[in-house]
Amino acid sequence: MIPKQHNSDKLVIQLLAGGISHERDISLKSARRVADALTEQGATVIIREPDGHLLEYIETDKPDVIWPVLHGATGEDGALRDILALTGVPFIGAGAEAARLAWDKSIAKTLVSRIGIQTPVSVTLPKEAFRELDASEILKIVSNSIALPLVVKPARSGSAQGVTVVRDVNELSKAMIDAYVYCDVVIIERLVEGIELAVSVIDLGAGAIALPAVEIEPVAGNFGFEERYTAGETNYFVPARMTAGLSERVAKVAIDAHELLGLRHMSRIDMIVDESETIWFLEANVQPGLTETSLLPLSVLAAKQTLGETYYSLAVAAHRGRG
């Protein structure tokens, strides 16, 4: 790395990236992009692994702000955020409690539905449930009560890892296994066909605002792992092709979900809009991806902002205890 001269007027920002997670690779890619953008703003940026030396790194680097650019467990499940809070160093993103609620899709769905946000009908099945109950019977009841097609997904996971769209009931068992290898709790959800949207929410201290929605149209098939991280595999429409009225409703759902879940500084709310223009909440992302193919950066650019200014503003907001 080319050493940058420290600009004493600018913040020292420690990025935590990597970790032991299925999304480690994505986290490292996100962090390198964030570091580039922040460095262009004059910030001093240090990338660290969240390992056994974490407290030592914090002591040595003396960051003004920490940004846990971590995807997946520990980074998004609140555990690390609890520890960061104890250090007293301000950090970007949701606090531990909000992260715990939002990271678990089944909890997030339950909470947002309480304020009237629609979310596809689903069943949450911990692996332990099958120790006492007969799996084939349960799956039969589930597939009868929630009509096909279904989406089977780990309750706590990201980047579409372990997610299967089930259109034939015979595929359900395999889909369950493919989800359980990522997480001990699995959600079976009714597949809502429609326009897939990702709405990024930013809060710099003056209230949460929704950035232009990204409409996702994979070139072929689902918006799976490869479609997310291979440039060219997906077409994006930013802002999404919607009427002004629908666009406002979509933004409101995103902001409401962000605020209800207690998220902070930034989040990404994924949803589907069906043919009747019903907006269905799918999940909230505590630390959205920030790679070159990720959705939050697309929204920032569509809002005529630069990534550097936006990311630096998030750091300033965290440093001042705002957002």
Partner 1 sequence: MTQEKHEQQGLNLDQWLGAYAARANTLSVSEVRALFAVVSRPEVVSLAGGMPYVSALPKELLSQTYSTLMSTRGDAALQYGSGQGDPILRDQIRELMALEGIHSSVEDLIITTGSQHGLDLLSGLFLDEGDVVLAEAPSYVGAIGIFRHYEAHIEHVYTDDDGMSPEALQESIDKMLAAGRKIKFLYLVPNFGNPSGVTLSEPRRHQILEICRKHHILVIEDNPYGLLYFDEKPPLAMRSYNEDGVIYLGSFSKILAPGFRVGYVLAPPAIRDKMVLANESALLCPSSFSQMMISEYLATADWQKQIDTFRGVYRERRDAALQAMHDYLPGVRTTQPKGGFYLWLTLPKGIDSKAMLPLAVKELVAYTPGTAFFGNGSGQDNLRISFSYPTPDNIKLGIKRLATVINLQTELLDTFGPKGGRE
Residue ranges that bind partner 1, judged by CB under 8 A: 18, 20-26, 28, 49, 51, 127, 130, 135-136, 139, 161-162, 170, 173-174, 176-178, 180-182, 195, 215, 217, 225-226, 229-238, 241-243, 246, 273, 277, 292-293, 298
Output 25 or 61, the one with its CB closest to partner 1.
25
SS3 for 203-265 is ECCCCEEECCCEEEEECCCCCCHHHHHCCCCEEEECCCCCCHHHHHHHHHHHHHHHHHCCCCC
Closest CB to partner 1 among 85 and 138?
Answer: 138
Q: Nearer Cβ to partner 1, position 200 or 293?
A: 293
User: Measured in whole angstroms, how far is the alpha carbon of residue 275 from the centre of its chain?
Assistant: 25
Least distance (Å) between residue 115 CB and partner 1: 24
Q: Which residues make beta-bridge pairs with 135?
A: none
For the CB of residue 198, give the shortest distance to partner 1 in the complex, in Å: 13
Nearer residue to partner 1 within complex by CB, 18 or 120: 18
Q: Which two tokens stand for residue 222?
A: 């689902």
Torsion angle of alpha carbons 39, 44, 45, 51, nearest 10°? 180
Residue 29 has φ and ψ, to the nearest 5°, of -65, -45
Among positive and negative, which fits the CA dihedral 175, 179, 185, 189?
negative
The helix/strand/coil state of 206 is coil
Please say which residue, 41 or 291, places its beta carbon nearer to partner 1.
291
Q: How far is the CB of 156 from partner 1 (least distance, A)?
A: 12
Least Å distance, CB 164 to partner 1, is 11
CB of 26 to partner 1, least distance (A): 7
